[in-house]
Structure 1
């Protein structure tokens, strides 16, 4: 609990310091509106004790729809610490205390899953944002999991890519899979018995989970970038290919995490070829 209090004592002033500038940036359309959340979450990850290991890289610098798995509310901090992005979230998130406000300030696109007729408007907004050159993260499972498996990817909102293209042949929107895999908690490798300490899913209450995670001390996570998916007119094929890629990357990250835990030398194991540790 002491660690939790110390983390909050640092995060609150940080939030209050950056928030006025960010609100002004949103109001007047300043370009730093994308970089402020990126900086904010890098600092927050450091304060929490999140250690990010990156495998691969984002392909290019143009607009991209990132299809990721979803394990915890901490995914938002981790992914935002990697790159300036916006997210797609269920409409209920907008009403959450604190978290809802932070989501709005990061220009999250909210989806009302109970009203299918509104999905088209959300898809159009995603497409417009992509066409403007943004990176949008879609948690393609549609919900969070326990972290031990990847749920089937849903294809409905992938149609936003096609909307972004429209009749403009000069606009190229990429689709790239991303896998978020938590491999260490409190200095221990994450097995099934520790996954619930990180994963936030089902009926788990947010506040107790939030306090427990911030009190952990050290959380290791691997963020893996997959190969870009070729643009096709079949959104179901895109979802299927992305799901396969994310599942493979999660399995590889878990194996690497376990091997690092038993490596016969102090410190963390040497990263795989192409891997890089991010000082988030």
Structure 2
């Protein structure tokens, strides 16, 4: 599910109309996901109990993406941690892709926190929930995001605020970059393009499509889905002068890369 999706879209489940063969793929992939979850959860808690480095959430998300058909490739040079990634947002597969490529934690809309299972899974990966529409609580949200940046070496923000069709960008919201103004000492800010190529229109979650419908539609599709995680040059100089400068620079960089 997109981390910044409208919670109302998640709260009203529906059953999509899919061909019989697509439903067979859904059953197979969903069963594999449940089995993978049952394998990862005990490992996660065992690592916590033994106070070992916990890489299970990254492994779990990477496995979920692979089961769904995603095949992740990278392009460009990832900046060394600590780094804040500014990414475009196309699908819930963005999360497994970035977790697989960089082990990223995420800034998510707090609508997801109302769903116990989703909240539990998100918190395992260090997700920070913010109330995107609560303007009165902006200061607290900034503190939350700064705490996430201090705790996790790689954090991802989706400044579009919701998912696009993957062929263009929605206007970036500079308020979502408030925690980076100024950026914590030593933190690099790097735009990263999630490129689904010709498959973007097929998997993107846009408009009034229900979240469950999108999830099942992706599980029911045939073949593999290539996703390129393209690291762009980190922001520097005047691009870091303010959150609005960062927003404009990141959107311009991502837009130019997407146009290519």
Q: Shorter-chain TM-score: which interval?
A: 0.7 to 0.9
Say if 2:187 is the partner of 1:173: yes
Q: Is the 8 A contact 2:190 2:233 kept in 1?
A: yes
CA–CA distance in 2 between the matches of 1:161 and 1:82? 22
Counterpart of 2:63 in structure 1 is: 43
Counterpart of 1:139 in structure 2 is: 158
Aligned residues: 235
CA–CA distance in 2 between the matches of 1:49 and 1:179? 19
Counterpart of 1:94 in structure 2 is: 113
CA drift of 1:97 comes to 6.2
TM-score by length of 2: 0.82
Say if 2:124 is the partner of 1:109: no
Counterpart of 2:94 in structure 1 is: 75
Can you list the C-alpha shifts for 1:136-165, whole angstroms capped at 9, x where unaligned? 100011111122211121111323134663
CA drift of 1:247 comes to 1.1
CA drift of 1:120 comes to 1.9
Counterpart of 1:158 in structure 2 is: 177
Counterpart of 1:15 in structure 2 is: 37
Task: Identify which of 211, 220, 226 aligns with 1:206.
Answer: 211
Residue 86 of structure 2 aligns to a residue whose secondary structure is: strand
CA–CA distance in 1 between the matches of 2:138 and 2:53? 28
Q: Is the 8 A contact 2:128 2:145 kept in 1?
A: yes
CA–CA distance in 2 between the matches of 1:28 and 1:122? 32
Task: Identify which of 134, 139, 161 aligns with 1:120.
Answer: 139
TM-score by length of 1: 0.76
CA change 1:173–1:181 in 2 (3 A) is same
CA–CA distance in 1 between the matches of 2:41 and 2:196? 29
Residue 88 of structure 1 aligns to a residue whose secondary structure is: strand
CA drift of 1:133 comes to 5.0
CA drift of 1:204 comes to 1.0
Residue 129 of structure 1 aligns to a residue whose secondary structure is: helix
CA–CA distance in 2 between the matches of 1:19 and 1:118? 34
Instruction: State the Cα RMSD in Å.
Output: 2.2
CA–CA distance in 2 between the matches of 1:124 and 1:63? 17
| Structure 1 gap segments, 5+ residues each | 166-170, 184-188, 253-280
The within-5 A match list for 1:178-257 is 178-183=192-197, 189-190=198-199, 195=201, 197-217=202-222, 218-230=224-236, 232-252=240-260
Higher-RCO chain (CA-CA 8 Å, sequence separation at least 6): 2
Q: Which runs of 4+ in 1 moved over 4 A?
A: 23-30
